[in-house]
Structure formats: C-alpha cells, structure tokens
A and B are shown apart, each in its own frame.
Chain A
Amino acid sequence: MRKSHDIEKEIDAVLNSMDGSGRATPGDFFYTRLQARMQQEQPSAIERLAGFIARPAVAITGIAVILLINAVTLLKQWNPAPARQEQVALQAFADEYNLSVVTFYDDEKHCPDDDAN
C-alpha cells in the first residue's frame, strides 16, 4: 500500500518536474545565422517562376484554358461552319435552277450565237 502511495507521489513529482524551469534558448548570434540562411535560400528567377506556375490558382486556370481551347477546336472540326453550309445550299439552289451569275466572259462566248439567231 505504502509502495503504491510512493509511486503515485513520485509520478506527481515527475509530472511537475518542469514547473519553475527556465526557457531553453538558441545559441548566441541566432539572428546572424538566420540572416545567412535567408540569403542562402533566396530563390532564383527560374525557381520563382516555377513557384508562380505551381500555385494552385495559376495551375488550375492554365489547365482550364488549355482544355477550353481543345474543346473549342474539336467542336469546330465536328460541326462545319454554318456560313459555309449556307453557301453550299445556295450554290445547289443556283445550279438547280440555272441561276449562275453570267460573267463578262460568258457574255462574250454567247454573243455570236445570239447575233445569228
């Protein structure tokens, strides 16, 4: 019983052994060492650029822009431009009813026949 009581007492003493202790301090000239490390760790222009690109906001925006350009290119390839479709339809209509525009050369070509008639 007494032994158990002693153990409890000793455990309490261990748990309280840091009470009243001082702070641990870093070695002398800490600020000088810190400055040296800060100068050593200054990133180069390439590292700064890589760091900028690696930012989540920049990286995600970049990927989104690339995907958007890809999607637009694919859509353009699959669906021919409506203006071209319209032009093809008009051409077919003109051919069907022989509505082609008569050019100066056509006039020249047809003139002798017209005179003969």
Chain B
Amino acid sequence: MAGLIDNLKQGDASAFSNMVNTCKDMVYNTAIGILQQAEDAEDVTQEVFIQAYESMSSFKGESSVSTWLYRITVTKSLDHLRRKTRKKRWAKITSLFGLQDAPVPEPADFEHPGVTLANKERSTLLFRAVARLPENQKAVFVLHKLEGLPAKEIAAVMDISLASVEGLMHRAKANLREQLEKYYKS
C-alpha cells in the first residue's frame, strides 16, 4: 500500500486508475446510501476521486487510503445534501412570491440496487426513514449497515470518538424505530 501511495504522489496514472477501479464501488455505495439518487451518487463519486487526486500530496498516511476516501465521500455527500436542501428551500420561497411556476418535484422512493428481491419493499421503507435522520446519524448508519464498517473505523472516518459513534448509532436506530412504528400504526 505504501508503494501505491508513493506512486500516486508521483502522479502515476496507472496507480490512480488502480485506486479508482479498486475503490469506486465502496465510494459509490456510501454516496448512494446517503444521497439516495444514482445520478447524484455518480457525481459525488467523481468529485471524491478528483479531490483525492488533487490532494494526494497532502495525504500523510496516518490513516488507510480507504478511511481517507470514506471521509471525503461522507463530507462530499453531506455537502451535496445541504446544497440540495438549500435549493429546495429557495424554490419554496420563490414559489410563494410567484417567481417560479412549477414546484420542485419530490424524488421517487429509493431502491438500493444491491438489495435482494425479497427485501426490496422493506428496504424502500428503511431508506425513506433514513432520509429523515440527522446528518451524522445518517452517515454512521450507512457506513455500518451498507458498508459493514466496525465502530472503530467509523470513528476514524468521521473523526469522532468511539463512544460518539455508538451514541449516534443508538439514536439512529431509535429514530428509525419510532418512524417505522408510526408508519405501521397509522
């Protein structure tokens, strides 16, 4: 791995291509879990690798390449979500003043491409609830459930303590449970 990093720092195109081909699925899967839109996830995945390429010289190797890439992915995905929320809010305001005729359409329910057929309906419900979670809880839940990362690695990715990760995970599950209870009881 140290050799790969050295090659990347020297601007070796084949080393970069190797890194992209090895890590593109994990980056895309994390991004799609947070963003729940294939086009947005592809955009963010590209941005992640562009940033990784540009900031390779500043990578000190204190964490593994995958942790570093996960960190960029989570940051970029959450930034993307914030931008979208701002746009939606602005569209609502402009529509109130009659400056915009058509309201921004709500995206359809998200179906994760990797889920088994038997779980499709349930996972759609799960993602609808995940979309309503606060940012950090969402990121922790996606990293744990979709990528199967242990709490220790999630702590390294999010740059928070292990106890914080456990707390966020606990709150995320409690929030999801509450939302699902409301859904099934209504």
Bound Cα distance A99, B20 (Å): 89
Quick check: B184 and A13 within 8 Å, CB to CB? Answer: no
Point out residues on B near A: beta carbons under 8 Å: 17, 20-21, 24-26, 28-29, 32-33, 38, 41-42, 45-46, 49-50, 53, 112-116, 119, 122-123, 125-126, 129, 145-146, 173, 176-177, 180-181, 184-185
- Report yes or no: B46 in contact with A21, Cβ–Cβ below 8 A: no
- A70 CA to B173 CA, complexed, in Å: 60
Whether A104 is near chain B, meaning CB under 8 Å from some CB there, is no
A→B interface (CB under 8 Å) = 7, 10-11, 13-15, 17-27, 30-31, 33-34, 37-38, 41
Q: Are B114 and A17 in contact (CB-based, < 8 A)?
A: no
Q: Which residues of B contact A18 (CB under 8 A)?
A: 112, 115, 119, 123, 126, 145-146
In the complex, the answer to whether B45 meets A11 with C-beta atoms within 8 Å is no
The answer to whether A31 touches B17, judged by C-beta atoms less than 8 angstroms apart, is: yes
Q: How far is the CA of A34 from the CA of B13 in the complex (A)?
A: 13
Complex contact A30–B24 (CB within 8 A): yes
A14 to B129, CA, bound (A): 10
